[in-house]
Amino acid sequence: MPQESEVHGLVALMEIQASRLRSRVGPSGEPCCCSIRIGRGGITLLIQRGLAALARAERLDTTLGQYALQAAIAACHARARTPEATDWVRIAALYDALAQVAPSPVVELNRAVAVSMAFGPAAGLELVDRLASEPWLQGYHLLPSVRGDLLAKLGRSQEARAEFERAASLTLNERQRKQLLERAANQG
């Protein structure tokens, strides 16, 4: 299906995400947060192939579908050599577009993270707080984890601690639980 932009978008997404698999966990298997993962390694063959597939998708259709949008988000991360070099404003805009094409509470949570990185933790927290009553996210450990991170950045340590503890109680992954409890303990 060489004329279908979403096919190229899906290929781009798979290639770029596959290039980052080893950077998603630390040396002892602990999950790595986004800011640690970004920029590890160089432009690999997988990233180059992914970027080429994304370029094909963009040439075929000016209105990108969900796979091409997700690939464009992954491409922003892949292109950044450091966390500071990440184009968070573009990522936030891409999440806005993705929320229109494929709305979901998880997309909205990811959008909130991107907004916080682009425009500050208060802007992200405002979006996260709107998701607090979302039924699909009630048992999702990343909602209180993200909220805890944003509260910590805002200097609201006690609230952050409670959110990290809540996130730890929701995850089934022992390494994530340990990491979240450590973050809670570090809040003072």
Report pTM. 0.85
Q: Note the pLDDT tens digit of each residue in 34-91.
A: 443 444 444 588 889 999 999 999 999 778 999 999 999 999 999 988 878 999 999 9
The type of residue at 183 is R
Rounded Cα gap, residues 6 and 10, in angstroms = 6
What are the DSSP calls for 56-71, one per residue?
HHHHH-SS--HHHHHH
- Domains of the chain (ranges; CATH) run 1-103 (no CATH), 116-188 (1.25.40)
Rounded Cα gap, residues 164 and 148, in angstroms = 6
Query: Exposed, middle or buried: residue 188 (CB in 10 Å: 0-12, 13-18, 19+)?
Result: exposed
Q: Is the pLDDT of residue 120 over 90?
A: yes
Q: Note the pLDDT tens digit of each residue in 136-173.
A: 999 999 999 999 999 999 999 999 999 999 999 999 99
Rounded Cα gap, residues 162 and 168, in angstroms = 10
